[in-house]
A and B are shown apart, each in its own frame.
Chain A
Amino acid sequence: AQSVTQLDSHVSVSEGTPVLLRCNYSSSYSPSLFWYVQHPNKGLQLLLKYTSAATLVKGINGFEAEFKKSETSFHLTKPSAHMSDAAEYFCVVSRGFRIQGAQKLVFGQGTRLTINP
């Protein structure tokens, strides 16, 4: 069974400093992994995805993530935080098989990112 653990429920950084949001996954199959962002009172937006191609994945707004199979990790990073990055971030794993072609996602609990001026 697939599962995701986000290691920090809340991360606080200063504007202009690096961001690291940690995610470990468990999967019986070669996984597809995603990071989604949710700004306050908004829907979810896809930041980036890993689907067994390059292990370093670049996303929108300067975010990137590295798939490390040996560590079962998919941490999200950004070199320099901006105030607009304040949001909730979800690490997501796609189940290794598709039922009737549907894609089943398993979400982590979320990490709230706060940016200090």
Chain B
Amino acid sequence: DAGITQSPRHKVTETGTPVTLRCHQTENHRYMYWYRQDPGHGLRLIHYSYGVKDTDKGEVSDGYSVSRSKTEDFLLTLESATSSQTSVYFCAISQGHEQYFGPGTRLTVT
């Protein structure tokens, strides 16, 4: 499982509140990614990181920000949650050609 954990695993929040999801890895991987999974869309990349303090946008980055202050942690923040951000969020690391995924966080915005 590449030593990836995500927290929380489930969260219900109200529209307009900020939310932070955490991805933690224990194997010193340089590259980390945040995806969201929605029915009929597969997974779509939100943001990724290529090192401490080095991040860039993916294809669905609007309404999201990220931070990586240390190698092991990659945080995803919804600045003001909306119902369209109800989704399952997956963190991943890449190792060579392969990506390995965390267990996911199910977020519901009411």
Interface set of A (CB-CB < 8 Å, partner B): 9, 32, 34, 36, 42-46, 49, 51, 90, 94, 99-105, 107-110
Contact = CB atoms under 8 A, between A and B. Distances in A.
Interface of B: 1, 30-31, 33, 40-45, 48-51, 54, 56, 58, 90, 94, 97-104
5 contacts: A45-B101, A46-B100, A102-B33, A107-B42, A110-B42
Contact of B98 (A42, A49, A99, A102): A49
A109 B101 contact: no
B43 A107 contact: yes
A101 B50 contact: yes
Chain A contact residues, majority secondary structure: strand
B31 A103 contact: yes
B31 A102 contact: yes
A101 B31 contact: yes
Nearest to A91: B42
Nearest to A46: B98
A109 B97 contact: no
Contacts of A44: 43, 90, 101
Contacts of B30: 101
Given A42-B103, A44-B90, A103 B97 contact: yes
Given A43-B1, A43-B104, A100-B56, 12 more contacts: A43-B90, A44-B90, A99-B56, A100-B51, A101-B31, A102-B48, A102-B94, A103-B99, A104-B45, A105-B43, A108-B42, A110-B42
Contacts of A49: 97-98
